[in-house]
């Protein structure tokens, strides 16, 4: 009898624990890893206080391609965080799986620009000097260096390498192919 009571108690504890991990309503997200980086698909993305259009808009992003980190999922909504730590909810359809990154958004004004190099090596030739906050398209990362592309209006795109630690939008040591 004691074994049956212990088994029932263990079952109830695991059921309550599993239920507590699910979002309200029991509807899980995509099953993709959380957290993960994505980018904004459009130039106007409402950041809401909760996962529905009934929640107040707390902020409006106005920069397509901006990298954001998904920190939670609920049905068609994603909780995101930007490089400054601002968090809120957006519709999944306003996000893209395209990987982008910001060049050192934490840098203070007056710091020297970051070099875009022609090879993944500190001694590589300088292709361009990048200011903090520049959005790059992430092509690949090996855990130390990322190959990125910068799209420019009315000019040739720039393709080169930057140290991974100087980017916000990729995790330390993350490898991207």
Residue 28: its pLDDT value, please? 59
Q: Do 22-98 and 102-176 show the same overall fold?
A: yes
22 is written with which tokens?
Answer: 């699910």
Residue 130: its pLDDT value, please? 95
Identify the CATH class of 22-98: mainly beta
Percentage, residues of the chain above pLDDT 70: 84
Domain ranges of the chain: 22-98, 102-176
Q: What is the per-residue pLDDT across 24-47, written as a single tens digit (0 to 9) for each?
A: 444 457 889 999 999 999 999 999
Q: Distance between CA 22 and CA 18 in Å, rounded? A: 7
Contacts of 95 (CB under 8 A, 6+ apart): 38, 39, 40, 41, 68, 70, 78, 80
Tell me if 36 sits within 8 A of 73, measured CB to CB.
no
Kindly indicate the confidence band of residue 153, based on its pLDDT and cuts at 50, 70 and 90.
Answer: confident
Does the pLDDT of residue 3 top 80, yes or no? no
Contacts of 155 (CB under 8 A, 6+ apart): none
The CB-side HSE value for 77 (13 A sphere, CA atoms) comes to 19
Does the pLDDT of residue 146 top 90, yes or no? yes
Nearest to 114 by CA among 96, 98, 97, 102: 102
Kindly indicate the confidence band of residue 168, based on its pLDDT and cuts at 50, 70 and 90.
Answer: very high
Does the pLDDT of residue 86 top 70, yes or no? yes
Does the pLDDT of residue 9 top 90, yes or no? no
140 is written with which tokens?
Answer: 């690949």
State the architecture of 102-176 in CATH terms. Answer: Roll (2.30)
């Amino acid at each position: 009898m004691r074994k049956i009571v212990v088994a029932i108690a263990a079952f109830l504890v695991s059921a309550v624990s599993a239920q507590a991990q699910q979002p309200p309503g029991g509807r899980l997200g995509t099953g993709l890893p959380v957290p993960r980086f994505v980018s904004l698909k459009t130039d106007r993305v409402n950041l809401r206080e909760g996962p529905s259009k009934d929640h107040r808009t707390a902020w409006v992003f106005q920069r397509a391609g901006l990298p954001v980190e998904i920190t939670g999922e609920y049905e068609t909504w994603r909780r995101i965080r930007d490089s400054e730590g601002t968090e809120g909810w957006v519709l999944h359809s306003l996000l893209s799986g395209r990987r982008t990154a910001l060049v050192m958004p934490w840098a203070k004004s007056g710091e020297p620009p970051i070099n875009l190099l022609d090879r993944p090596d500190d001694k590589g030739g300088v292709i361009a000097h990048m200011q903090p906050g520049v959005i790059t398209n992430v092509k690949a990362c090996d855990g130390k260096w990322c190959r990125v592309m910068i799209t420019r209006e009315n000019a040739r795109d720039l393709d080169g390498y930057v140290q991974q630690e100087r980017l916000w939008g990729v995790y330390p040591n993350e490898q991207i192919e």
